[in-house]
Amino acid sequence: MKYIIGIGNYSMFDDSIGIKVIEYIEENNLIANLIAKEHQDSIQAIDLSGNLLNLFNYLNSSTEKIVIIDTAKINIDKQMPDKQQEQRVPGEFIVFTPEEVESTKNLANISTHEGDLLKVLALARETDYFIPEIVIIGVIPKEIKNDFGLSLELNNKLPVYAKKALEEIL
Amino acid sequence: MKKDININVHHLTRVEGHGNIVVNVKSGKIEKCEWQVPEAPRFFEAMVRGRHYSEVARITSRICGICSVGHTLASVKASEAALGIEVTAQTKKLRRLLKHAENFDSHVLHVYFLVAPDLLGAPSVFPLVPTHTAVVKRALQLKRVGHEWGSLLAGRTTHPTTVVPGGFTKLPTKKELEALKQTILAAEPDLLATLDTVAALAPKIPAFSRPTEYVAVSSDEEYGLYDGLIQCTMPDGKKERIKVSDYKSVTNEWVSPLSTAKYCKHKLDSYAAGALARFNNNFEMLHPKAKEAASKLGLKPVCTNPYMNSVAQAVEVVNDVYKSIGLIDELLASGIKDEELVKPTKWSKGASAVEVPRGILFHEYEYDKNGMCLSGNCIIPTNQNHANIQKDFDALVPELLSQNKSEKEMELALEMLVRAYDPCISCSTHFLNVKFVR
Amino acid at A4: I
- Angle of helix A158-169 relative to helix A17-27, nearest 10 degrees, comes to 80
Does the pLDDT at position B210 exceed 70? yes
Apex CA B424: angle with CA B302 and CA B183, to 5°?
80
Taking contacts as CB-CB distances below 8 angstroms, the residues of chain A near B123 are 108-109
What pLDDT, on a 0 to 100 scale, did the predictor assign at position B161?
Answer: 87
Does the pLDDT at position B36 exceed 90? no
Query: CA–CA separation, B299 vs B80, rounded Å?
Result: 37
Domains and CATH numbers, chain B: 57-388 (1.10.645.10)
By CB atoms closer than 10 A (0-12, 13-18, 19+), residue B438 is exposed
Can you tell me whether residue A75 is helix, strand or coil? strand
Average pLDDT, chain B: 90
Q: Which CATH class is domain A2-169?
A: alpha beta
> Which strand (E) or helix (H) includes residue A152?
helix A152-155
What pLDDT, on a 0 to 100 scale, did the predictor assign at position B38?
Answer: 63
Query: CA–CA separation, B277 vs B306, rounded Å?
Result: 9
Are A9 and B430 within 8 A, CB to CB?
A: yes
Can you tell me whether residue B372 is helix, strand or coil? strand
Does the pLDDT at position B327 exceed 80? yes
What pLDDT, on a 0 to 100 scale, did the predictor assign at position B80?
Answer: 98
**What ranges do the domains of chain A cover?**
2-169
Is the ipTM beyond the 0.90 threshold?
Answer: no
Taking contacts as CB-CB distances below 8 angstroms, the residues of chain B near A7 are 430
Pick from B262, B237, B238, B234: which is nearest to B248 by CA? Answer: B262
What pLDDT, on a 0 to 100 scale, did the predictor assign at position A77?
Answer: 59
Does the pLDDT at position A158 exceed 90? yes
Q: pLDDT tens across B350-397, in order? A: 999 999 999 999 999 999 999 999 999 988 898 899 899 999 999 999
Q: Residues in chain A, how many?
A: 170
Tell me whether A127 touches chain B (CB under 8 Å). Answer: yes
Does the pLDDT at position A111 exceed 70? no
Pick from B376, B382, B395: which is nearest to B264 by CA? Answer: B382
Query: CA–CA separation, A138 vs A148, rounded Å?
Result: 20
A27 min Cα distance to partner chain B (Å): 14
What pLDDT, on a 0 to 100 scale, did the predictor assign at position B50?
Answer: 95
Amino acid at A21: V
Amino acid at B168: F
Does the pLDDT at position B73 exceed 90? yes
Q: What share of chain A is helix, strand, coil (3-state, %, to 5)?
A: 35, 25, 40
What pLDDT, on a 0 to 100 scale, did the predictor assign at position B436?
Answer: 54
Which is more confident, A165 or A105?
Answer: A165
Beta bridge partners of A73: B433
Can you tell me whether residue A147 is helix, strand or coil? strand
Are B14 and A112 within 8 A, CB to CB?
A: no
Can you tell me whether residue B76 is helix, strand or coil? helix
How far CA B375 is from CA of B86, B189, B247, B255, B296, in Å, comes to: 22, 47, 16, 21, 47
Minimum-distance CB partner of A112 among B65, B435, B437: B65
Q: Which segments of B84-212 does DSSP mark as H helices, in order?
A: 89-109, 116-119, 128-131, 133-154, 174-186, 188-201
Average pLDDT, chain A: 85
Which is more confident, B435 or B283?
Answer: B283
How far CA B160 is from CA of A2, A130, B169, B197, in Å, comes to: 22, 27, 11, 32
Out of A65-74, A87-96, B183-192, B377-386, give the one with best mean pLDDT: B183-192
The answer for A 39-68 residues in CB contact with B (under 8 A) is: 46-54, 56-57
Q: pLDDT tens across B113-145, in order? A: 888 988 888 888 888 899 999 999 999 999 999
| Bridge pairing between strands B262-263 and B239-242 | unpaired
A53 min Cα distance to partner chain B (Å): 8
Are B156 and A46 within 8 A, CB to CB?
A: yes
- Whether the ω angle into residue B317 lies within 30 degrees of 0, i.e. cis, is no
Q: pLDDT tens across B221-268, in order? A: 999 999 999 999 999 999 999 999 999 999 998 887 777 667 899 999
How many CB atoms within 10 Å of residue B119? 20
Minimum-distance CB partner of B434 among A57, A104, A110: A104
What pLDDT, on a 0 to 100 scale, did the predictor assign at position B60?
Answer: 85
Does the pLDDT at position B14 exceed 60? no
Out of A32-46, A129-143, B77-91, B259-273, give the one with best mean pLDDT: B77-91
Average pLDDT of the segment spanning B257-285? 91
Query: pLDDT category, A110, cuts 50, 70, 90?
Result: very low
Average pLDDT of the segment spanning B296-305? 96
What pLDDT, on a 0 to 100 scale, did the predictor assign at position B424?
Answer: 73
